[in-house]
Amino acid sequence: MGIEAYVDGRFVPKEEASVSVYDHGFLYGDGVFEGIRAYHGRIFKLREHVDRLFESAHTLRITIPMTREAMTEAIVETVRRSGLKDAYIRPVVSRGRGDLGIDPRRCPRPSVVIIVDTIQLYPEAAYQNGLKLVTTSTRMRPLDVLNPRIKTCNYLSNIMARLEVNLAGADEGLMLTTHGYVAECTADNIFVVRHGRVLTPPAHLGILQGITRQTVLDLCQTLGVHAAEHILTLHDVYAADECFLTGTVAELGPVVEVDGRTIGSGKPGPITHRILKAFRDLAAREGTPVYAASGVPAGE
């Protein structure tokens, strides 16, 4: 079965999927998106991702031309048509086709695209050996410019930071706020472990409130591990016993070096491993079933 994409109510082969060159998502990054994972034929945290998609669109005053229930069904059907059991899912809602000006009123109807494919951010060896980070000079955009909680299609600041990471030969880049506090990485949230406590930057600093991030905070409570939001500086990261990143694609990526400083023992730590195992166990057993509804048992 060939992979198909959902484009404004139609399913088309991914090679033929396209949007207008006049679409304001293409022209100006005027849109929102989500990154979602499917494991073993189940879509993980689908409701939470759909809710965040609609919340981001609402803030941008983009009226998604379908209900949350219809969006959920479209995502499930797109995965089903792909035949993939383990997949990465990218729903995108743009302002839609307009003219060459920026006025949103020139875009009469938003466009909805759902892409399903495979993806791998880090090789499996990274989870055994750990990742190396550098702090980027590109800062997180401040709340009074564009709230990072809105998952928009405009990722230029993250891309500029990623360019620095590539030049440094590192695995990821740590981005600071304009006041010098630890915010997040170019594609992940960040956690540190200090004296048995799991800490992550607070939402009010201006970060994307990752769904994997929240899942980790919930798992820590289940595991009896103290976890909390806390303002962090680079010193807190350098002096951490452990450090890890979270994201839909990355899951939990252990960090062993930041800006040339060894983190802890220089190897992924025991608390990181414990949470990663709990996360993967959870993702393997929970989620919205894709294939059972069509009579094909998930996992076959």
Model pLDDT for residues 178-200, shown as the tens digit of each residue: 999 999 999 999 999 999 999 99
Indicate left, alpha or beta for 287 from its phi (over 0: left) and psi (-120 to 50: alpha): left
Do 189 and 252 sit in the same domain of this protein?
A: yes
Q: What pLDDT, in 10s, does the model give residues 81-120?
A: 999 999 999 999 999 999 999 999 999 999 999 999 998 7
Do 267 and 130 sit in the same domain of this protein?
A: yes
Q: 227-229 and 111-117: which strand pairing?
A: unpaired
Do 278 and 175 sit in the same domain of this protein?
A: yes
Q: Which two tokens stand for residue 138?
A: 């590109």
**What is the per-residue pLDDT for 86?**
95
Do 38 and 74 sit in the same domain of this protein?
A: yes
Final residue in a domain of this structure, among 54, 87, 119:
119
Q: What pLDDT, in 10s, does the model give residues 111-165?
A: 999 999 998 778 888 899 999 999 999 999 988 888 989 999 999 999 999 999 9
Do 105 and 197 sit in the same domain of this protein?
A: no
Final residue in a domain of this structure, among 84, 119, 154:
119
Q: What pLDDT, in 10s, does the model give residues 193-234?
A: 999 999 999 999 989 999 999 999 999 999 999 999 999 999
Domain that holds residue 79: 4-119
Let me know if residue 47 belongs to a domain. yes
Question: Which DSSP letter does residue 287 get?
Answer: S
The Cβ of residue 51 has, within 10 Å, a number of other Cβ atoms equal to: 14
Do 114 and 131 sit in the same domain of this protein?
A: no
Q: Which two tokens stand for residue 277?
A: 């195992």
**What is the per-residue pLDDT for 7?**
98
Do 157 and 262 sit in the same domain of this protein?
A: yes
User: Is the model's pLDDT at 298 over the cut of 70?
Assistant: no
Do 163 and 186 sit in the same domain of this protein?
A: yes
Mean pLDDT over each residue of the chain, to the nearest integer: 94
Do 92 and 131 sit in the same domain of this protein?
A: no
Do 144 and 273 sit in the same domain of this protein?
A: yes
Do 133 and 49 sit in the same domain of this protein?
A: no
Q: Shortest CA distance to 227 belongs to which of 174, 275, 277, 175?
A: 275
Q: What pLDDT, in 10s, does the model give residues 22-81?
A: 999 999 999 999 999 999 999 999 999 999 999 999 999 999 999 999 999 999 999 999
CATH number at residue 140: 3.20.10.10
Provide the number of structural domains found in the chain. 2
Indicate left, alpha or beta for 22 from its phi (over 0: left) and psi (-120 to 50: alpha): alpha
Final residue in a domain of this structure, among 96, 119, 142:
119
In whole angstroms, how far apart are CA 259 and each of 41, 165, 173, 174, 224? 39, 11, 10, 9, 31
**What is the per-residue pLDDT for 1?**
57
User: Is the model's pLDDT at 294 over the cut of 60?
Assistant: no
**What is the per-residue pLDDT for 168?**
98
User: In DSSP terms, which residues pair with 35 in a beta bridge?
Assistant: none
